């Protein structure tokens, strides 16, 4: 027997604000969160812009001592999880701990801690490296800390699949509930990698936009003038419950997750295949898993990073999967507003997709001023659009050619 999995709560730490209401309002308004980097002096880097989380105070969400012993990506995750549980109206102490678990995604993990402690080693010697270095830095610590914080002793794991990590985590949490291995799962992704080393690495790959004089216009998915993605940070955490558990406690349901598909490019360590075949494979498998026909999908939240090759390949993948319906499908990239939060991106985009289903408003792809002839679909340019959305997909594609698509359905009881 497969159990249905429903979304009952969501929490977000984003460059557009702390909390889902602030995030959603800004998405609907088509607001850009990109600006000059303030977390360090980016002089000398070809790219000097990012989408940073502002006004975040970890002490608002966790014990001050624990905050000092946690990397920024873990702090984000704890904050987003606390907000998600509050949104779900779920008291962690009222849940059977063995039936509650955590699966989170991250692309890089504790990069800020890694860089800080390497500096300590170089400047002051090995005796000055913190005993908390390893537990603060390792990628699984956010999932571990959520279990510690909320007392969840059920399934616990971390997905580290680059930019697909948040979506992979949600998919695996979905499977966990489907199989009856848990009744409640905290899932999503967290990333806090806006540090000089990460920026330099992506600059060396020529992956980032260098529109330093126009930060708000730098992330422009599917536009002819796109020149790379914009680095971002943040976290999105979702409360997934079995339908039976949610009904038993009278929970409000935001949306239902109904499909999960994965496929590999098997092509290149960083570049996508020109035909987008891996993304197409993930979408086909998600549709099959959800028992959806292509024409039944009303909206696609695209991976849409604003890289020349990536956006072109994703467009070809959509056409390959949806055929003529591709031209009737509403598509948008929330990365146009919040940049690319790497392992947190899939979780934040899942939240945006669930809100689209709940409210009947499709967030726009901003900065669409010069359509690319190779990207000729309906990308909901520049303004949000009211629409009755019954079923939607969310794409997340990662370095290494790891592709994930999640399928959601509007909840109608």
Catalytic residue IDs: 163, 303, 340
How many angstroms separate the CA atoms of 85 and 242, rounded? 15
Q: CB–CB of 355/369 below 8 Å?
A: no
Cα first-last separation, the chain? 20
Residue linked to tokens 């490296």 = 129
Chain centre to alpha carbon of residue 302: 11
Token reading at 128 = 């000055």
∠ CA 63-65-67, rounded to 5°: 70
Give the count of beta carbons closer than 10 Å to the beta carbon of residue 65.
Answer: 9
Could you tell me where the beta strands, DSSP code E, fall in 108-233? 156-159, 184-191
To 10 degrees, the CA torsion angle through 107, 113, 119, 125? -120
Token reading at 44 = 């000398």
């Amino acid at each position: 027997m497969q159990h249905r999995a429903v979304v009952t709560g969501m929490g977000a730490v984003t460059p557009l604000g702390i909390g889902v209401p602030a995030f959603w309002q800004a998405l609907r308004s088509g607001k850009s969160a990109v600006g000059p980097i303030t977390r360090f002096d980016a002089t000398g880097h070809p790219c000097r812009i990012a989408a940073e989380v502002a006004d975040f105070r970890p002490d608002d969400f966790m014990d001050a001592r624990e905050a000092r012993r946690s990397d920024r990506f873990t702090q984000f995750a704890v904050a987003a999880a606390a907000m998600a549980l509050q949104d779900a109206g779920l008291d962690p102490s009222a849940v059977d701990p063995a039936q509650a678990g955590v699966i989170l995604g991250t692309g890089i993990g504790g990069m800020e801690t890694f860089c800080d402690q390497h500096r300590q080693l170089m400047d002051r010697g090995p005796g000055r490296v913190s005993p908390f270095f390893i537990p603060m830095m390792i990628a699984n610590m956010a999932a571990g800390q959520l279990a510690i914080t909320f007392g969840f002793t059920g399934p616990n794991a971390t997905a580290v699949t680059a930019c697909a990590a948040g979506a992979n985590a949600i998919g695996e949490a979905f499977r966990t509930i489907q199989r009856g291995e848990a009744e409640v799962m905290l899932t999503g992704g967290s990333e806090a990698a806006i540090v000089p080393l990460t920026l330099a690495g992506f600059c060396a790959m020529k992956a980032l936009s260098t529109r330093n004089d126009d930060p708000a216009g730098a992330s422009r998915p599917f536009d002819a003038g796109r020149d790379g993605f914009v680095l971002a940070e943040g976290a999105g955490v979702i409360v997934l419950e079995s339908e039976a558990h949610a009904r038993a406690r009278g929970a409000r349901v935001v949306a239902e997750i109904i499909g999960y598909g994965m496929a590999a490019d098997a092509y290149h360590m960083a570049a996508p295949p020109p035909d987008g075949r891996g993304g197409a494979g993930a979408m086909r498998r998600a549709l099959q898993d959800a028992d959806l026909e292509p024409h039944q999908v009303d909206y696609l939240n695209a991976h849409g990073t604003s890289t020349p090759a990536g956006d072109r390949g994703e467009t070809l993948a959509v056409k390959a999967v949806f055929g003529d319906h591709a031209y009737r499908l509403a598509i948008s990239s929330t990365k146009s507003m919040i940049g690319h939060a790497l392992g947190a991106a899939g979780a934040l985009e899942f939240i945006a997709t669930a809100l689209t289903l709940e409210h009947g408003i499709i967030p726009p792809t901003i900065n669409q001023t010069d359509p690319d002839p190779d990207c000729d679909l309906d990308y909901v340019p520049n303004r949000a659009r009211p629409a009755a959305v019954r079923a939607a997909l969310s794409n997340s594609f990662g370095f290494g050619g790891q592709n994930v698509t999640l399928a959601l359905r509007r909840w109608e009881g």
